[in-house]
Amino acid sequence: EIVLTQSPGTLSLSPGERATLSCRASQSVSSSYLAWYQQKPGQAPRLLIYGASSRATGIPDRFSGSGSGTDFTLTISRLEPEDFAVYYCQQYGNSPQTFGQGTKLEIK
Amino acid sequence: EVQLVESGGGLVQPGGSLRLSCAASGFTFSSYWMTWVRQAPGKGLEWVANIKQDGSEKYYVDSVKGRFTISRDNAKNSLYLQMNSLRVEDTAVYYCASHGYWGQGTLVTVSS
């Protein structure tokens, strides 16, 4: 099983700042089958990024994904108030698929 | 518009059974893998199981192997999760998901 470790656990930033979230895998993720999700309280997760760097439909271009192998990054270039939420990475190249434990992005 | 609507959750005693359903619409159901993901109260996401388009391949997280069974009916555009021998630690919101789309989830509570 591929273990995904996200860091930091909590990130405190202000609107307008840049956010960098990390996801490290215990072994290489097949074909960059790495996704990022955003989840707000009481809501289902929302797909942001798939294939490590492709934005899902309707996702603003301030969200970007990068990385390969075992190290992946989600960057939010300029935080908007609605971006404060929990973010999860997921690998879907190997079974069982696995999620990271999440990074909470909170308003400073 | 893609829609995934889960149903079948509720309160069940330890050792009991439940069958979750997911009704899909707005896409060609038979063309996509389907997945169940769960989230315990206040916790992160946990992938539970998935099933290939024709049902020929199924995968499970170790903690549910031998207890849960995923299935689908392509004629009815429906996904199922049969959950037997339920444990307190199976308490969670169960989401149906496919190619980036998620339902709103159904709550399963296992308690005496």
Tens digits of per-residue pLDDT, A34-56? 999 999 999 999 999 999 999 99
Using only C-alpha atoms, chain B has a radius of gyration, in whole angstroms, of 13
| Contact across the interface for B45 and A97, Cβ inside 8 Å | no
Smallest Cβ–Cβ distance between B47 and the set A39, A44, A96 belongs to A96
State the pLDDT confidence band at A95, using cuts at 50, 70 and 90.
Answer: confident
The C-alpha atoms of residue A81 and residue A68 are separated, in whole angstroms, by: 29
Q: State the pLDDT at residue A31.
A: 75
The C-alpha atoms of residue B58 and residue B64 are separated, in whole angstroms, by: 13
Residues of B with CB under 8 A from a CB of A: 35, 37, 44-47, 50, 59-62, 95, 100-105
Taking residues B45-65, what's their average pLDDT? 96
Structure tokens at B77: 């555009």
Q: A45 at the B interface (CB within 8 A)? A: yes
Q: State the pLDDT at residue A32.
A: 82
Q: State the pLDDT at residue B58.
A: 96
Q: State the pLDDT at residue B16.
A: 98
Smallest Cβ–Cβ distance between A98 and the set B47, B50, B105 belongs to B47
Taking residues A19-40, what's their average pLDDT? 94
Q: In Å, how far is B79's CA from the nearest CA of chain A?
A: 18
E strands along chain B, which residues? 3-7, 10-12, 18-25, 34-39, 45-51, 58-60, 68-73, 78-83, 92-98, 101-102, 106-110
Query: Is the pLDDT assigned to residue A98 strictly greater than 90?
Result: yes
Q: What percent of chain B has pLDDT over 70?
A: 100
